Amino acid sequence: MLLSVNVFVSLDGVMQGPGSPDEDRSGGFERGGWLVPHASAETNEVVEGWFREADAFLFGRTSYGLLGGYWPKVTTANDLIATKLNSLPKFVVSRTLTDKAADWSPTTVLRADIVDRVRRLKELPGKELQVHGSWRLVQMLHEAGLVDLYRLLQYPVVVGTGKRLFPDGSTPSTFAISEAGTRVLPGGVISLTLTPTNLGVISAGAYAVEGGRSTTVLD
């Protein structure tokens, strides 16, 4: 399976608490719910497209609790997202969550050797092992070079504080943008699909004047 990271981000890269003021107040965050005024039928269509590719899910402990507290209550038969989340295998990374408390069935708790366990999960048959939210987990997967695909919905708002998708200190990387997965939606929301091409490497260059003309010089 491909491992995909699917997240909502602001213009300044914040992914914390997009869906509700009380979704995630950790670190004193008080600006939750910033996504909701920009939601539309078009953003819902994009997100449903993400979930159509899922054959399993991988979560951090907090996102597992948040999503597991919401989606099992959605029982409408034609809700694609609820159907996928409530029926497909789920894996949650946690040292403290007990098997009994991990009652969003079917769920497996991953407690140790996470990078190796995720590598083995990727070897299973299927289309995608999807990560949604799960900020700390996404950072670990990025640093380990395990992410095959990033899908972002970027919203036209600067949150100004909060957990960022790529915080200071992240390993520099280069990405290729999929034209098929890139759209500008009504209201200025941008759908992006990115494939990592070089972990730990970014291209550099400079502008120079040659023969009276401005030109670019790449390293």
pTM > 0.85 = yes
The residue among 40, 50, 121, 38 whose CA lies nearest residue 84 is 50
Could you tell me which of 3, 12, 35, 208 has the C-alpha nearest to residue 124?
A: 3
Q: Quick check: 32 and 15 in contact, CB under 8 A?
A: no
> Tell me: the pLDDT tens digits for 67-120?
999 999 999 889 999 999 999 999 999 999 999 999 999 999 999 999 999 999
> What confidence score (pLDDT) does residue 203 get?
85
Q: What is the architecture, at CATH level 2, of domain 2-218?
A: 3-Layer(aba) Sandwich (3.40)
pLDDT digits (tens, 9 = 90+) for 138-152: 999 999 999 999 999
Higher-pLDDT residue of 180, 127 = 127
Over residues 19-48, mean pLDDT: 96
Q: Which region holds residue 18: left if phi is over 0, alpha if psi is between -120 and 50, else beta?
A: alpha
pLDDT at 136 over 90: yes
Q: How far is residue 163's CA from residue 14's CA, in Å, rounded to a whole number? A: 5
155, 9 in Cβ contact below 8 A?
Answer: yes
